Amino acid sequence: MLIDIETIQLRRFVAVVECGGFAEAARQLNITQQALSASIAKLEDMAGVRFLDRRRGTRIELTPEGRVLLARAHTHLSMTDRLMSEIGLMRDARGGTVAIGVGETMSGRQVASAIRRYHHQRPDVQIHIVEGYTEALIERLLTGAFDFVIGGPSYDRGDSDVLDTRHLFDVGDVLAVRRGHPLTRQRNVSLADLAKYAWIIPAYRGDVFKAVQAAYFNAALSPPKQIIRSDAVVLGMWLCLDGDYIVSVSPDMVSSMISLGAMVTLDNTDTALTRSACVITRRNTRLSPAAERLLEEILIETERERGALVIS
C-alpha cells in the first residue's frame, strides 16, 4: 500500500524524536502541541502502525517501525534540503549548469575573458563548452544540448521558425602563416604569391574553398594546387607552425597564436569571406538565470572588445 507522506509530517516526526517529546518540539516548530500531536496521529493512521511509544511519565520511545521511519526521514529531508538549495542557487544564478556552443567567429579572447569573470563570480555554476562549426552546434542546440550558441548564423531557412538570432558584428576571414614564413618578408602579397604555397582550409564548410577558387578565377589565375581541407584546428596550427602553410580562417581561431607572436596575418583580403557573429537561442525557450547571466557577460565583453553596441 502506497502512503502519501508529506515532508512537513516527516519534519514534525523528526522534531518530536529529537526533542524527546511533543511540548518542546511544538515550541521549536512554533505550532500548538495539539496540532503536532494530531499531525503525528494522522501519519500513524495512514501507515496503520505506531511510530512512537507514548507511555505516560517516560520519554517517548521509537517503535521498530519508528526507527525505520526515522532513518528514511533523515535521508528524505536531507535530499529535499539539498534540492531546494540547488533550486535557490539556480534562481539566483549562483548554481546549476550552463552549456554553450562556441562557433568559429566567437572563439577568441573576449569570450574567454567573459567566462573567466563569470566563473570567478559564480564558482558553483558548472560550465560546459563545446567548440565547432556553427551549423553542427545549431543541430545540437535544437535538441536541447545547449542553452545558447554564439557563432555564425544558421543558413537553413527552416531554422528561422524555431530559432532566434541576434546579430552582434561582422568579421572577415584572414590568411595566417607562421612567423618567419617567406611571405612575411613581402609588403604586398598577391594571389600569385599565395598560390605557390600549400593552403589549409575548413573541410566542413565549402564556402571558403569556393571563395578561394572564385578569387583566382576572377583574377584569371590558376588557384593553389596544394590544399588540405581539415577541421582539426590544433593539428592545423601545428602544420602551420612547422611548415610554410597558409591557413584561411576566422581571426578568432588564430588570435591566441598571433597574440603569442607565433603566427602573423598576411596583407591580402582577396579571398576573405565576411562572417557574421550572432547569439542563437531556441525560440519560446526561456534561458535559466545562470545562462542569462553568462550571456550578458559575453555580450558586455564583446561590446568592450569590438567597440560596438551589441546589447539590444
pLDDT tens for each residue of 144-190: 999 999 988 776 666 778 899 988 888 888 999 999 999 998 888 99
User: How would you class 158 by CB atoms within 10 Å of its CB: exposed for 0-12, middle for 13-18, buried for 19 or more?
Assistant: exposed
- Is the pLDDT reported for residue 256 higher than 70? yes
Binned at pLDDT 50, 70 and 90, residue 213 comes out as very high
Least confident piece of the model among 58-62, 75-79, 292-296, 306-310: 306-310
For cell 565549402, the residue is: 206
pLDDT (0 to 100) of residue 1: 41
pLDDT (0 to 100) of residue 263: 94
7-88 and 97-168+283-306 share one fold: no
**CATH for the stretch 97-168+283-306:** 3.40.190.10
Provide the residue count of the chain: 312
For the chain, the straight-line distance linking the first and the last C-alpha, in angstroms and rounded, comes to 56
pLDDT (0 to 100) of residue 264: 94
- Is the pLDDT reported for residue 2 higher than 90? no
CB atoms within 10 A of CB 43: 20
pLDDT (0 to 100) of residue 307: 59
Give the up-direction half-sphere exposure of residue 11: CA atoms within 13 A in the CB hemisphere: 13
pLDDT (0 to 100) of residue 221: 94
Q: Which CATH superfamily includes the segment(s) 174-272?
A: Periplasmic binding protein-like II (3.40.190.10)
pLDDT (0 to 100) of residue 309: 40
pLDDT (0 to 100) of residue 122: 86
CATH class of 7-88: mainly alpha
Domain range annotation of the chain: 7-88, 97-168+283-306, 174-272
pLDDT (0 to 100) of residue 91: 62
pLDDT (0 to 100) of residue 182: 94
